[in-house]
Each structure stands twice: as C-alpha cells, then as structure tokens.
C-alpha cells in the first residue's frame, strides 16, 4: 500500500473506537484523496468552498464531505445540497442562512458550533456567552432545517501542551453545558470536533469525538 493509505490505516488503529477521523485534504490533489479513499477513508474535510466543489465532482459519490473552514453566507447555497457536516458555524447569521437554504432543498443540515478557545485573535468562533444568548432566543428554537450536532474548536498554535489541554478542556466543558441545557434527551448532539495533526492526542485525552487530521495523512502543505 502507498504511504497515504498506510497513514490512514495506522491512524485508525490508534484512534479509540468513539473517535471519528476527518481526513483534511485541503490543498491536496484528487489523486491523494483517492489513495485515502482506497484505504477505506470516507470522511474528508475541506476549508474552502471553491476547492471543495472542484474536487467533489471528480470523486466517488459516497464520500462524506465536511466543511471545516470559515463559511461566507453567500457561499452556503453552493454546498447545501450535499455537505454532510459544517464544523464552522461561527455566527447566528450564518446559521440562519444555512437553515434558509437547507429548507429550500428540503434538507436538514448537520452543523457544529465553532467556539473561539485559542488565545490568538484571528480564529473565528462564538464565545460561550454569545452561544447561550443565541440558543435562548425564540428565533433559534424556530430553526427547523439545521441539526446542531455538537461543538468544534481549534487550540492555540503553540508547544505549550498545558495551554492546549486547557483550551480543549474548556471546549468539552461548553459541550457538556449545552448538552445539559438544550440537548439533554437528544442523542444527535454528540460531537466534540477537536484535535489536528499536532494536538489530536491531547484532544482525545480531553474528550474529543472527532479529529481533523491533514498533514499527518497527506504530508506537509506548501
Ligand atoms: C487545516 C485544518 C486542519 C488540519 O490541520 P493539520 O495540522 O494538517 O492536521 C484541521 N482543522 C481545520 C479547521 C483546518 O483548517
């Protein structure tokens, strides 16, 4: 087997049974994605809509495509008919747009709420206060075409493992708080998407149920 296929197999062997693998294929060619596919991988993550659309049509139809990067409201329409999970819902406005477009397609689209857990200024996401305010609103409770399946977050890019751990711990805490308050008897709210190539072991230690791994599978990006 090729290197990409072997990386998939060994990662799957390492991940605990409750942790799903999203293979992050951004910037990588369709041929690389096919190698991962042929090793059994079915969930792929892309962070740009244009790139996702271009690749999707050249690849098998049973791939589950996840959008993991910042999504502009004007691009929602182009992915809504097929996307399996949007990890990067970072505003109420975006969630409402997803709901409206999903309704037009008679779909219910699965989404994660992205939280800002890192110390860096640049990363997108809700604060817990913003998320609670949204979820307490009547407008939120009227959304019928989105399914909130959990939370997503990215830790600070640092060698400080304690900082990374504590950021993942807060995300897992937000998950539990939201579960308790809004999704107590709802088994669909079950995803904690955290952990990338450099920090997925820490994320799993803090309760991750879904890791998003790119360079460890496909090699470094340019
Ligand atoms: C690129 C990216 C990843 C994967 O990063 P690696 O370090 O290559 O594993 C995961 N999540 C998001 C949101 C990304 O943009």
Cβ atoms within 10 Å, residue 198: 15
3-class state of residue 43 by DSSP: strand
Alpha helices in 25-127 (DSSP H): 30-38, 49-56, 76-79, 92-104
How many Å is the Cα radius of gyration of the chain?
17
Q: How far, in Å, from the CA of 68 to the mean position of ligand 1?
A: 8
What atom in ligand 1 is closest to the CA of residue 212? Answer: 10
What is the pLDDT, as a whole number, of residue 43? 98
The DSSP element (H or E) to which 8 belongs, if any, is: helix 3-14
Res 2 pLDDT > 90: no
- Compute the distance between CA of residue 15 and CA of residue 59 in angstroms, rounded to an integer: 26
> Structure tokens of 13?
């062997």
Q: How far, in Å, from the CA of 139 to the mean position of ligand 1?
A: 32
Question: 128 near 166, Cβ under 8 Å?
Answer: no
Range of 146's domain?
Answer: 3-218
CATH number at residue 202: 3.20.20.10
Ligand 1 environment, Cβ below 6 A = 24, 26, 47, 68-69, 154, 196-198, 212-216
When pLDDT is averaged across residues 154-162 and rounded to a whole number, the result is: 96
- Compute the distance between CA of residue 110 and CA of residue 89 in angstroms, rounded to an integer: 10
Count of domains for the chain: 1
Task: Say what percent of the chain tops pLDDT 90.
Answer: 96
pLDDT digits over 8-40, tens only? 999 999 999 999 999 999 999 999 999 999 999
When pLDDT is averaged across residues 162-175 and rounded to a whole number, the result is: 98
What atom in ligand 1 is closest to the CA of residue 196? Answer: 9
Cα–Cα distance list, 209 to 47, 96, 182 (Å)? 20, 26, 19
Res 187 pLDDT > 70: yes
Q: How far, in Å, from the CA of 109 to the mean position of ligand 1?
A: 22
**Atom 7 in ligand 1: residue holding the nearest Cα:** 197
Res 99 pLDDT > 80: yes
What is the pLDDT, as a whole number, of residue 123? 66
């Amino acid at each position: 087997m090729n290197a990409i296929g072997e990386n998939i197999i060994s990662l799957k062997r390492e991940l605990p049974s409750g942790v799903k693998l999203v293979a992050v294929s951004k910037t990588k060619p369709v041929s690389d994605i096919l190698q991962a596919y042929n090793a059994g991988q079915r969930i792929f993550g892309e962070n740009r809509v244009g790139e996702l659309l271009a690749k999707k049509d050249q690849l098998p139809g049973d791939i589950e495509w996840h959008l993991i990067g910042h999504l502009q409201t004007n691009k929602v329409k182009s992915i809504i008919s097929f996307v399996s999970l949007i990890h990067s819902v970072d505003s109420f406005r975006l969630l409402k747009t997803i709901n409206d477009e999903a309704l037009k397609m008679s779909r219910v689209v699965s989404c994660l709420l992205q939280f800002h857990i890192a110390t860096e200024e640049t990363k997108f996401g809700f604060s817990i206060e913003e998320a609670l305010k949204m979820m307490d609103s009547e407008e939120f409770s009227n959304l019928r075409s989105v399914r909130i399946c959990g939370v997503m977050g990215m830790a600070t890019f640092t060698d400080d493992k304690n900082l990374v751990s504590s950021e993942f711990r807060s995300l897992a805490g937000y998950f539990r708080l939201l579960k308790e308050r809004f999704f107590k008897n709802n088994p669909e709210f079950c995803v904690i998407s955290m952990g990338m190539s450099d920090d997925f072991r820490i994320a799993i230690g803090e309760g991750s149920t879904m890791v998003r791994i790119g360079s460890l599978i496909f090699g470094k990006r340019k």
